[in-house]
Amino acid sequence: MPYVNIRVAGKLSKEQKGRICQGVTDVIAKEAGKPPESILIFLDEVEHENIAKGGILLQPPK
């Protein structure tokens, strides 16, 4: 069973999550030859203040 964990900074809409999950599932199914129903995807939405790049906390988009 393929397991995919995707972390994003901030929030996604339900529609965005659906498109991301479908696209990732399609690629893994095609390239790894796995049945789509065996692919498990977790989406983690992380607040910008909990992510740093180059030692500096990310700022939310304006």
Q: Domain spans of the chain?
A: 3-57
The model's pTM is 0.86
Share of the chain above pLDDT 90, in %: 95
Q: What is the pLDDT of residues 9-19, one digit of tens each?
A: 999 999 999 99
Q: Is the pLDDT of residue 61 over 90?
A: no
Span 3-57: which CATH code?
A: 3.30.429.10
DSSP states of the chain: --EEEEEEES---HHHHHHHHHHHHHHHHHHH---GGG-EEEEEEE-GGG-EETTEE-----
